[in-house]
Amino acid sequence: MPRLKDYLELHFIIFLWGFTAILGKLITIPEVELVFLRTLITALALAGIMYKRGTPFWLGRGKVLKMVGVGFLIAAHWILFFASARVASVSICLVGMATCSLWTALLEPLFTKKKIKPHEIFLALLILLGLYIIFRSETQFDSRIGIAMAIGAAFLGSIFTIINAKLAKQHPSTTITFYEMSGACLCTALFFPLYVTLFTGVEGVDLTMSTMDAVYLLILALACTVYAYTASVRIMQKISAYTMNLTVNLEPVYGIILAWIIFNENKQMTIDFYYGAGVILLSVFIYPILDSYSKRQHKLKQSFPEEVMIGKD
């Protein structure tokens, strides 16, 4: 039975996830180097947790390679995510990330062979309307590039989330995350030579950081990644999936409010941005409600198939 403490901790976890984009903008290390260090610290921390708990490391070559491959997607996702917050703004980045539900609605039937749900298509169209309103008003090149990066990050995020939903039923969550973080770290390391040639020129990879960069990076890796992830899994054992999904929808809201407070981004946004963001966030909030209603209707049809058929005739 969940207690008040559990609900408060859940909101704190969502707050930390919303704070991720803020930290990504505060840290002065370039995006690729930031992802490399974040995933390295996270993988090492998870390895220590697994060793202490006695969690098995080896799952077989095929399964490990699959998880490492997912880590490559995560690396690209985070690079685009942090780049979006820096090129445009944290608010634009988080609004673009809210399209993850759109991509999930379109991609999940392809991965799982589930039927497309009508309410998910409706919400997907609502999200597209919100994006159109924002794009129509954002004439600056940086803003358009930033939201395009965020949408790309959301697309990749939906793919590895769908894959992880399958993996989580078969293996310990810490083991999955360890190999995925290791894969993401390996991906950025392998990308460094191309990255140096195409983007940073003769300066090379820049891993130097200030004292505050180190502090922010540790918060990002340990608090926003290791703690938030393991704690969310623990709380999911007490709180229903519906409550969890409904609360997670507050992540972009918390992040945008923090961006307004820390970076004064509310002064930089047009009125159409607020209209478009409002439409997108509305679709994110009403998704769990419509999904819950759809599931109840499906159960009723299964419980009373004859009455349903008579009604259709």
Closest CA to 69 of 164, 151, 149, 172: 164
- Count of alpha carbons within 13 angstroms of residue 91, beta-carbon side: 23
pLDDT at 23: 92
| Average of per-residue pLDDT across 159-177 | 81
| Average of per-residue pLDDT across 125-143 | 77
More confident residue, 84 or 95: 84
Tens-digit pLDDT profile for residues 174-212: 888 899 999 999 999 999 888 877 775 546 778 888 999
pLDDT at 312: 42
Query: pLDDT category, 308, cuts 50, 70, 90?
Result: very low
Length of the chain (residues): 313
Tens-digit pLDDT profile for residues 247-291: 676 778 788 888 888 888 766 677 887 888 788 778 777 877 777
pLDDT at 35: 93
Q: Any long-range contacts for 29-33 (C-beta under 8 Å, 24+ apart)? A: 29/206, 29/207, 29/208, 29/209, 29/213, 29/217, 30/200, 30/206, 31/79, 31/82, 31/83, 31/86, 32/79, 32/188, 32/191, 32/192, 32/195, 32/205, 33/188, 33/205, 33/206, 33/207
Q: Are the beta carbons of 249 and 285 closer than 8 angstroms?
A: yes
| Average of per-residue pLDDT across 27-51 | 92
Domain boundaries, the chain: 4-312
Mean pLDDT of the chain: 81
| Average of per-residue pLDDT across 55-64 | 85
pLDDT at 193: 85
| Average of per-residue pLDDT across 283-304 | 73
Question: How many whole angstroms from its chain centre is CA 267?
Answer: 26
- How open is the CA angle 122-152-168, to the nearest 5 degrees? 80
pLDDT at 268: 66
pLDDT at 220: 93
Q: Evaluate the CA torsion angle 162, 163, 164, 166 in order and state its sign.
A: positive
